Amino acid sequence: MIQLPDLHISTLPLALEAEIQHKIDQKAKPLGSLGQMERIAKQVAMIQGTLTPQLTKPVMLTIASDHDICEEGVSPCPIEITWQQCLNFLHGGGGIGLFAAEYGFDLLVVDAGVKYDFEAHPKLIDAKVRKGSRNFRHEPAMTMEECLKAIQNGRDIVASIHAKGTNVVGFGEMGIGNTSPASALLAVFTNCSVATCVGPGSGLKPEGVLHKGLVLQEAIDKHGISDDPLVNLSRFGGLEIATIAGGMLEAAARKMVIITDGFITTSALLVAHAIEPRMVDYAFFSHQSQEQGHKRMVDFLKGEPILDLGFRLGEGTGSAVAYSIIKGSVAMLNKMTSFDEAAVFNTANVAKASCKI
């Protein structure tokens, strides 16, 4: 199995869990009454190994690439939309341009493999490995060299933002046709049938979804499924998916808070998890996408989506919106008054479930 160099991801400090939980339970509220926010606060505290976690300089990485699998009619949209939307994001447009600004992210657009030559821009990172992944119905999407280069690019980008003080990274993507590699990776890594992994993406009609599934099944039958996750990624993935997977692994190694978006970024998380299972402890599932395979991904990874708003846009929009909940959860842990501070009788020791404040 191919190994990634210098990748060391720590197990979360379980010895601290009881102390964090005690601090949460001493807040002036009924036990467990803030639901998921209590779970989120505890996870952030364990990631950082402290009772007083801090979220600093959040960055959104929207990573883009094109896909030659589109030659098979798996998307109703022209591939030119990829580069056009990237330019839109760079000028603050699109859903992610709006939400990144609204929720306090520094948005960076990463060109991992777009079929376009961008002019330099302060918010654009040139990490282009090649112009688009290959048509994996006929040949592997990437050579192993290209796949490893994309993964290393993701690692290097995250290392760079971490060095500038960022400890929160959200991931988004842009790439016409990229629900096809994501669906193929879901089928390969979870052994689900292709039919249960494929959805309409950006607007396929039922007959288009059926055709897409047949194309992906033919590709999987042609290339086979490897025991090595990197081989599977190179066969069926995309350059943005590989870059995101590398970024997620590096973020976990650096004990950063990782916020995934929807179907595509969670397919990258599937890959990263297969490479190093411990990394999923550093990830937050921002929302439940409407793309049908996303729930299968989340369930396989034993995740719990923070939001369910009917999103299926991508770009990192779910990651940005969910950050407000993560931020509030950490504020609860750090700033919410305790029973002692509020001079309120601590109900934690009596009638836990029945007491109301």
Reported confidence tier of residue 345, pLDDT bands at 50, 70, 90: low
Model confidence at 270: pLDDT above 50: yes
* Lowest-confidence segment of 134-143, 263-272, 299-308, 340-349 by average pLDDT: 340-349
Residue 355 pLDDT: 47
Residue 349 pLDDT: 46
Element (H, E) at 208: helix 206-223
Domain count within the chain: 1
The question of whether 315 is a catalytic residue gets the answer yes
Please give the Cα distance from 287 to 310 (Å, whole number): 9
Q: Collapse the DSSP code of 201 into the 3-class scheme (helix H, G, I; strand E, B; otherwise coil) and give the result.
A: coil
- Give a yes or no: residue 341 inside a domain: no
- Give a yes or no: residue 54 inside a domain: no
- Give a yes or no: residue 97 inside a domain: yes
- DSSP lists the bridge partners of residue 168 as 257
Beta-strand runs (E) in 105-150 = 106-113, 124-126
- Give a yes or no: residue 15 inside a domain: no
**Which tens digit of pLDDT belongs to each residue from 125-138?**
999 999 999 999 99
Identify the active-site residue in 72, 173, 291, 315. 315
- DSSP lists the bridge partners of residue 108 as 61
Burial class (CB in 10 A: 0-12, 13-18, 19+), 96: buried
Model confidence at 350: pLDDT above 50: no
- Give a yes or no: residue 295 inside a domain: yes
Reported confidence tier of residue 346, pLDDT bands at 50, 70, 90: low
In the chain the first and final C-alpha atoms are separated, in Å, by 56
Q: CATH number for the domain including 82?
A: 3.40.50.10210
Reported confidence tier of residue 356, pLDDT bands at 50, 70, 90: very low
pTM of the model: 0.95
What is the domain range of residue 174? 61-331
| Residue recorded with tokens 């299926």 | 312
Residue 343 pLDDT: 78
Q: Collapse the DSSP code of 191 into the 3-class scheme (helix H, G, I; strand E, B; otherwise coil) and give the result.
A: coil
- Give a yes or no: residue 9 inside a domain: no
- Give a yes or no: residue 37 inside a domain: no
- DSSP lists the bridge partners of residue 113 as 65
Please give the Cα distance from 194 to 180 (Å, whole number): 10
**Which tens digit of pLDDT belongs to each residue from 147-180?**
999 999 999 999 999 999 999 999 999 999 999 9
- Give a yes or no: residue 139 inside a domain: yes
Q: Collapse the DSSP code of 327 into the 3-class scheme (helix H, G, I; strand E, B; otherwise coil) and give the result.
A: helix
Please give the Cα distance from 202 to 7 (Å, whole number): 35
Element (H, E) at 59: strand 59-65
